């Protein structure tokens, strides 16, 4: 969840660290800090709150120092205070450390270290690591060896960077379960938890893997395992441009990413549709295609927004690929005793590719001999590497904490997967071609919805002070109701619930009165008449109805209070369109409430801790 940046080279380090932290602030923004080496000392500056608070502490960016580490925090152990902010340092202020992850046995280690005379200044689990390193340094007189031995004592997850006044020519970095990359420049190296922190300096990176310990100098680095064996990792070139992580004239990343969806959908399907065959081609699945066709069951596992995408995928795959599908919260799946067989396929869905619970579900599935596929956005991510096959969604970097374009791209890829399997079964050429053609039409139709932004903003003006919302949908659009409610909760802090519309009568209808806004996804699909009946039930109780309706539906206007029209499409693809106005509605409500849309309270972009 937190962000890490490190630099060693010939440039002044403080501006690089601050800039990197700003790029990473979406990963955590409770507190931040930097540590750098100057005049044979470790200097640490840190502050609770936004990075702007940290900047106020640093009077001079021109300090003559060329090595340092930084951290932006999402709190787990300990409140967001100055004391709990990273970096943490040992008692002699000779060693400084930043840490992402959770030390599960920190209480035991802390007790042992206190008994040895070590004093703690924070409530964090992370501080245990730096004192352990200090303990082993006294024995080994080698920073990399001290780090390696300390990590042998740690149970849990970590991505760490360490600097020391005792060895001023290096940074030590290591990972287990929390992502880290090494960026390679000319006479300089970077370390980061995520590529945006270093993208303006270099595209050449090495992805560290679990158990890697890197000893990084300005002109080279050594990579070893925890067992002290030499490791070679390939240098990869990131296909990203600095403009993709800038706001590009938009007031918020979230709005930019909503408006990028015509392009992100196009990127998700580009080169994958074979219209002349009514089929698709997914190169990342070719060597497991027979397993997919012959599988008796698909288990889609994910968290949050990706879980909602999986629910839509369940409808698609069961209807057109004719495979039984189960959708599992990854956070629950890992703690059950899931019954998996060799001919089961587990599909893990994650924007970041680093979601801790989803990774744990992958590992559990592999132990039980199921085939594991990944659907994720970030190239080189842990899920991409640990899956046996998979598909990238190619949505591009998503900086806004509330996921938007990744959700619709996940749906597009799940539709491609449906056609791929369905055409090998009973899905006709004609209908396969129809799905493929409609996928190609989606970018234009999304653009048409985005032109309604002013209309949706006016709607937000009427309802931004409402304390509660209900979102209701049926069939393919029930998961859209869940996702629409989640978006509103995430960024506006308004209590919102998504339900299957028919379930309203089994409890939620008790909430309906003249002050309750109720959003119905009411497109003209196979459940349309049923949805109209549900709307009438709400109107009979004086609820305020906002409908997302089909562009050719002229009768619904007289039934509801407000309506937003979306272009017609196939029922299975309708969630890709119906979610767009709900994303915009949540965005504009949050803006009118004066909230930080890109950095909602208590949330961070990638949940890499349990």
Radius of gyration of the chain (CA): 25
Is-catalytic flag, 112?
A: no
- The catalytically annotated residue of 22, 487, 489, 605 is 605
Nearest to 31 by CA among 53, 55, 52, 48: 48
Whether the ω angle into residue 257 lies within 30 degrees of 0, i.e. cis, is: no
Q: Cα 9–12–16 angle (5° rounding)?
A: 90
Residues 6+ apart with CB under 8 A from 527: 474, 475, 477, 501
Q: According to the 3-state scheme, what is the secondary structure of 190-219?
A: EEECCHHHCCCCCCEEEECCCCEEEEECCC
- The catalytically annotated residue of 2, 303, 376, 436 is 2
Cα gap 381→443, rounded to integer Å: 27
491-526 in b/e form (b: 16+ CB < 10 A) is: bbebebbbbbbeebeeebbeebeeebbbbbbbbbbe
422-435 in b/e form (b: 16+ CB < 10 A) is: bbeeebeeebbbeb
Q: Are 556 and 428 in contact (CB under 8 A)?
A: no
Helix (H, G, I), strand (E, B) or coil at 469: strand
Q: According to the 3-state scheme, what is the secondary structure of 363-414?
A: HHHHHCCCEEEEEECCCCCHHHHHCCEEEECCCCCCCCCCCCHHHHHHHHHH
Considering all CA atoms of the chain, what is the largest pairwise distance in Å, rounded to the nearest integer?
Answer: 80
Q: How far apart are the first and last CA of the chain?
A: 10
Is-catalytic flag, 161?
A: no
- What amino acid positions are annotated as catalytic residues? 2, 605
């Amino acid at each position: 969840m937190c962000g890490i940046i490190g630099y060693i080279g010939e440039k002044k380090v403080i501006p690089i660290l601050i800039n990197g932290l700003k790029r990473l602030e979406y990963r955590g923004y409770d507190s931040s800090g930097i540590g750098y080496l100057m005049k044979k000392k470790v200097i640490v500056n840190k502050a609770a709150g936004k990075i702007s608070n940290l900047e106020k502490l640093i009077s001079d960016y021109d300090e003559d120092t060329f090595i340092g580490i930084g951290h932006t925090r999402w709190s787990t152990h300990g409140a967001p205070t100055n004391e709990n902010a990273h970096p943490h340092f040992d008692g002699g202020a000779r060693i400084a450390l930043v840490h992402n992850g959770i030390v599960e046995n920190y209480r035991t280690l802390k007790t042992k270290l206190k008994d040895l005379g070590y004093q703690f200044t924070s409530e964090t689990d992370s501080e245990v690591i730096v004192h352990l390193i200090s303990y082993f340094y006294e024995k080994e007189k080698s920073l990399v060896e001290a780090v390696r031995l300390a990590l042998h004592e740690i149970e849990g997850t970590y991505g760490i960077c360490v600097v020391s006044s005792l060895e001023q020519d290096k940074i030590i970095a290591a990972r287990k379960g929390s992502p880290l990359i090494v960026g390679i420049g000319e006479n300089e190296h970077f370390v980061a938890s995520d590529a945006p922190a270093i993208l303006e300096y270099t595209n050449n990176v090495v992805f560290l893997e679990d158990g890697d310990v890197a000893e990084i100098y300005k002109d080279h680095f050594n990579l070893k395992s925890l067992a002290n064996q030499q490791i070679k990792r390939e240098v990869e070139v990131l296909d990203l441009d600095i403009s993709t992580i800038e706001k590009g004239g938009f007031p918020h990343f979230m709005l930019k990413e909503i408006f990028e969806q015509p392009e992100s959908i196009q990127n998700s399907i580009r080169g994958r549709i074979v219209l002349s065959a009514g089929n698709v081609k997914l190169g990342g699945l070719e060597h497991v295609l027979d397993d997919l066709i012959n599988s008796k069951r698909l288990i889609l596992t994910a968290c949050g927004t990706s879980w909602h995408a999986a629910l839509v995928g369940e409808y698609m795959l069961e209807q057109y690929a004719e495979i039984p599908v189960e959708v599992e919260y990854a956070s629950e799946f890992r703690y059950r005793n899931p019954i998996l067989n060799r001919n089961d396929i587990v599909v893990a869905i994650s924007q970041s590719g680093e979601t801790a619970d989803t990774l744990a579900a992958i590992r559990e599935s592999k132990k039980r001999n199921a085939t594991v596929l990944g659907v994720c956005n970030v190239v080189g991510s842990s899920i991409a590497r640990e899956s046996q096959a998979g598909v990238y969604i190619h949505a591009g970097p998503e900086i806004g904490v509330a996921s938007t374009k990744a959700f619709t791209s996940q749906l597009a890829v799940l539709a491609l997967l449906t056609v791929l399997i369905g055409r090998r079964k009973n899905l006709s050429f004609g209908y396969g071609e129809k799905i493929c053609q409609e996928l190609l039409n989606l970018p234009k139709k999304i653009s048409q919805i985005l032109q309604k932004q002013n209309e949706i903003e006016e709607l937000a003006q009427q309802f931004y002070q409402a304390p509660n919302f209900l979102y209701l949908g049926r069939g393919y659009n029930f998961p859209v109701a869940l996702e629409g409610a989640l978006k509103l909760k995430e960024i506006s802090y308004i209590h919102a619930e998504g339900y299957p519309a028919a379930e309203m009568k089994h409890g939620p209808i008790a909430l309906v009165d003249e002050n309750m806004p109720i959003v119905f996804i009411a497109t003209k699909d196979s459940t349309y008449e049923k949805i109209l009946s549900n709307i009438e039930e709400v109107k009979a109780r004086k609820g305020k109805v906002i409908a997302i309706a089909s562009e050719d539906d002229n009768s619904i206007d007289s039934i509801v209070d407000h309506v937003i029209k979306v272009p017609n499409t196939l029922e299975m693809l309708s969630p890709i369109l119906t979610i767009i106005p709900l994303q915009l509605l949540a965005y504009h409500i949050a803006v009118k409430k004066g909230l930080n849309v890109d950095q909602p309270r208590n949330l961070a972009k990638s949940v890499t801790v349990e």
